[in-house]
């Protein structure tokens, strides 16, 4: 394919990337030599991977694309480079078999150099794309630097490294690297790109018998019209502030689309009643639920304000209750993490009157006193906002017993529960210890926050705040 044809085709597929595509075509065409290494950078979803793949596919230059995200270790990356290059070279030779035996192992960088040099000897040009090199899980900077110089040692190899941010010269150790930037899309670019593929208003087209003049063409026109206006509204009200990249914007728009056009599908509004539709569906653009990344897409298509409000209260309905003593263990753990141990005597000493232990609600006076002493500038951070401090198992058990009215037999179940809680990560072992979770001297920490602790307390009629030093307000 001629370079001009490629450009036209790519431009049709990827709008608003004309300049970058032209750069690519100029740098990597069949004949003139290409830069030994190129760093192609840009934020996520700026089309780096897709455009590279499409371009090299169309340009018919022998190439291999490695998705570095899929490589677990550095060794894995090296093995994959060789395997992918072998495949690519074979394909370029129109299925001519290469003797693969010499390439069985690529344990380290020098093996890679040897193997690649052997493979590419006497060949014209070979492009190796390492996509998302900055996502490499091990190996770090030196490996990238070494890979970057691969292009210098093997003349026919042209290397492309894609990253989110440009590679710093200190990482590359080389001045011959070229750079190509894929800038993030602007508002109008985003609208153009997404506007090119409108979603349908009617997931099942209205029957032709009933509406004989609503032809598919007409429908497509309506879809495009409403979709582009809808995209603008979504961008201006939601995506502008949160997810500006193409994927977030696309996800958000797709999620909102169905509920948005629901009145149109129901026949309440016409397909071009955009302003009335906007007023009717304005609540969709007022809550942030749609842009939050959630696994569970809580809002269904038939959602309106009332159910959304009801949902606010709903989530806790299905919380599985923990056993009685387990709940107390967790509360004790929370208190042990957030109360300094020297206050234990005041809070948990057994009195005949249990009430004496509890904290009285902090009065305004007590605050002003501390304020004066420590100076007004020194703002106290509420304890529960700090990270939990570690405690020993015996302290936990002592507080646990102090919280309960009666006595609890020292059964092994208590320890089983502690082990269970630690595998649920509600209790976390602090520091590295031996593998024995119940070893004496092991220190623990809680793995949950104040809200959860309070809810736990309420489930067993215990106001955790009353036992917490400093209180929570």
Partner 1 sequence: MEHQRCYIYQPPETEERANKRQRTSKFDPQSRLPERLQIYRSVWAQQEERIQNTLEGADSATQENIVNFISAASSSPDEQKFAIPTALIVAGPSIASHGHFFERLGRRVRDANSAYIVLTSGECPNLKTLLKNLIKKVTSRVEDDDEDEIDRPSTSSRHGPKLLNYDLGHVEEWQKKHRAASIVVALQDSEAFDAGLLVDTIDLFHSWLDRLPFVLLFGLATSAENFEERLAGNSLRFLEGQKFDVIQSDEIIEKLLHATVASTDVRLHIGSNLCRRMLDRQKDHVQSTQDFCDGLKYAYMSHFYASVPSLLLKEGITFSDVTADIFEAVRNLPSFRRWVEDTLDDGRAQDVRNLLEDNEYLFDQVSQHIQSGQQALLSLSHAASVLASIRQAIQMSPTVRLSSIWIRAASGELSGSPLIRETMLSIKKIPSDKLVHLLASLRELEGNYFSIDLASSQQRLDSLLKNTDTPLRTQHDVRNDSLRTTVVAQKVLLSKHKAALSEQDRAYSDIVTEFHDRLETYFASSLVDPRTLFLSEILMYDLKSPHTEVFQPKPRFAIERALASPHDYLGCDCCSGVDGNPAALSATQPATAIVYQMYLESGTLINVSDLWSAFNAIAGDGSDENEPKTMALFQRALAELKYLGLVKPSRKKTDHISKTMWKGL
Ligand X SMILES: Nc1ncnc2c1ncn2[C@@H]1O[C@H](COP(=O)(O)OP(=O)(O)O)[C@@H](O)[C@H]1O
What is the contact mask toward Mg ion in residues 5 to 44, using x (rule: CB under 5 A)? ----------------------------------------
Q: What are the start-end ranges of the E strands in 120-184? A: 126-131, 157-163, 178-181
Contacts of partner 1 in 48-67 (CB under 8 A): 67
CA distance 184 to 47: 9
Residues of this chain that interact with ligand X (CB under 6 A) are 14-17, 42, 44-50, 193, 246-247
Contacts of partner 1 in 130-149 (CB under 8 A): 137
Q: Which has the closest alpha carbon to 113: 79, 150, 76?
A: 150
Minimum distance between the CB of residue 453 and partner 1, rounded to whole angstroms?
A: 13
**Binding-site member from 216, 267, 409, 431 for partner 1 (CB under 8 A):** 409
Minimum distance between the CB of residue 223 and ligand X, rounded to whole angstroms?
A: 18
Judged by CB under 5 A, the number of residues near Mg ion is 1
Relative to beta strand 178-181, strand 37-41 is parallel
Minimum distance between the CB of residue 200 and partner 1, rounded to whole angstroms?
A: 14
Residue 252 contacts residue 291 (beta carbons within 8 Å):
yes
**Binding-site member from 30, 165, 319, 361 for partner 1 (CB under 8 A):** 319
Minimum distance between the CB of residue 291 and ligand X, rounded to whole angstroms?
A: 18
Residue closer to partner 1 by CB (options 176, 254) is 254
**Under rule CB under 8 A, residue 420 binds partner 1:** yes
**Binding-site member from 294, 311, 354, 356 for partner 1 (CB under 8 A):** 294
Residue closer to partner 1 by CB (options 69, 458) is 69
317-341 burial: b if 16+ Cβ within 10 Å, else e: eeeeebeebbbbbbbbbbbbbbbee
165 binds, among ligand X, partner 1, Mg ion, none (CB under 5 to 8 A by kind): none
Residue 52 contacts residue 162 (beta carbons within 8 Å):
yes
Residue 454 contacts residue 324 (beta carbons within 8 Å):
no
Quickly count: other Cβ atoms within 10 Å of residue 366's Cβ: 12
Q: What is the dihedral of CA 290, 294, 296, 301, to 10 degrees?
A: 10
Residue closer to ligand X by CB (options 34, 46) is 46
CA distance 398 to 400: 5
Minimum distance between the CB of residue 44 and ligand X, rounded to whole angstroms?
A: 4
Residue showing tokens 């009285």: 360
**Under rule CB under 8 A, residue 165 binds partner 1:** no
**Under rule CB under 8 A, residue 248 binds partner 1:** yes
Minimum distance between the CB of residue 131 and Mg ion, rounded to whole angstroms?
A: 6
Residue closer to ligand X by CB (options 19, 346) is 19
82 binds, among Mg ion, partner 1, ligand X, none (CB under 5 to 8 A by kind): partner 1
| Residue 65 tokens, joined | 């694309």
Q: What 3-state DSSP class applies to 446?
A: strand
Contacts of Mg ion in 46-65 (CB under 5 A): 49
The residues with which 157 forms a beta bridge, in sequence order, are: 126
What DSSP line would sit under 400-430, residue for residue? HHHHSSS-----HHHHHHHHHHHHTTSEEEE
Relative to beta strand 427-430, strand 443-446 is antiparallel
Judged by CB under 8 A, the number of residues near partner 1 is 63
Residue nearest Mg ion (C-beta atom) = 49
User: What kind and span of H or E run contains 90?
Assistant: helix 74-92
Minimum distance between the CB of residue 84 and Mg ion, rounded to whole angstroms?
A: 16
Q: Which positions ≥6 away from 358 have C-beta within 8 Å? A: 347, 463, 466, 467
Interface residues toward partner 1, by CB under 8 A: 67, 69-70, 72-73, 75-76, 79-80, 82-83, 86, 99-101, 103-106, 137, 247-248, 250-251, 293-297, 315, 318-326, 392, 394, 397-398, 401, 409-417, 420, 423-426, 439-441, 448, 452
Interface residues toward Mg ion, by CB under 5 A: 49
């Amino acid at each position: 394919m001629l370079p001009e044809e490629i450009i036209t085709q790519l431009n049709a597929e990827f709008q608003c990337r004309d300049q970058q595509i032209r750069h690519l075509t100029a740098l990597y065409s069949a004949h003139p030599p290409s830069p030994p290494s190129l760093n192609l950078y840009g934020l996520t979803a700026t089309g780096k991977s897709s455009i590279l793949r499409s371009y090299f596919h169309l340009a018919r230059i022998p190439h291999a694309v490695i998705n570095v995200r899929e490589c677990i270790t550095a060794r894995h990356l090296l093995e994959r480079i060789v395997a992918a290059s072998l495949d690519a070279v074979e394909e370029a030779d129109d299925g001519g078999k290469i003797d693969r035996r010499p390439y069985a192992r690529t344990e380290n960088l020098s093996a890679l150099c040897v193997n690649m040099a052997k493979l590419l000897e006497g060949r014209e040009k070979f492009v190796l794309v390492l996509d998302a090199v900055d996502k490499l899980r091990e190996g770090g900077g030196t490996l990238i630097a070494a890979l970057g110089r691969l292009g210098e040692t093997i003349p026919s190899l042209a290397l492309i490294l894609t990253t989110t941010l440009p590679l710093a010269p200190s990482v590359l150790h080389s001045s011959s690297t070229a750079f190509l930037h894929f800038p993030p899309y602007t508002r109008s670019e985003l609208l153009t790109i997404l506007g090119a593929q409108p979603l349908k208003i009617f997931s099942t087209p209205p029957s032709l018998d009933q509406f004989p003049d609503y032809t598919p063409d007409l429908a497509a026109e309506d879809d495009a019209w409403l979709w582009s206006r809808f995209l603008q509204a979504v961008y201006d009200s939601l995506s502008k502030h949160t997810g500006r990249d193409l994927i977030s914007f696309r996800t958000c728009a797709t999620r909102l689309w169905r509920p948005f056009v629901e009145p149109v599908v129901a026949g309440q509004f016409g397909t071009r009643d955009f302003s009335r539709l906007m007023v009717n569906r304005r609540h969709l653009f007022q809550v942030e639920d749609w842009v939050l990344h959630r696994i569970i897409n809580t809002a269904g298509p038939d959602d309106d304000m009332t159910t959304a409000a009801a949902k606010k209260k709903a989530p806790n309905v299905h919380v599985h209750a923990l056993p009685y003593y387990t709940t107390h263990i967790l509360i004790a753990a929370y208190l042990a993490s957030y109360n300094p141990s020297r206050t234990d005597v005041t809070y948990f000493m057994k009195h005949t009157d249990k009430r004496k232990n509890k904290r009285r609600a902090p009065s305004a006076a007590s605050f002003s006193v501390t304020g004066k002493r420590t100076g007004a500038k020194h703002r106290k951070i509420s304890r529960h906002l700090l990270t939990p401090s570690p405690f020993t198992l015996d302290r936990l058990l002592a507080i646990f017993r102090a919280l309960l009215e009666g006595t609890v037999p020292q059964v092994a179940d208590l320890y089983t529960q502690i082990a269970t809680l630690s595998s649920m990560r509600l209790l976390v072992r602090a520091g590295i210890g031996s593998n024995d979770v119940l070893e004496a001297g092991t220190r623990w920490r809680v793995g949950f926050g104040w809200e959860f602790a309070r809810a736990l307390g309420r489930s067993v009629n215990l106001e955790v705040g009353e036992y917490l030093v400093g209180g929570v307000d």
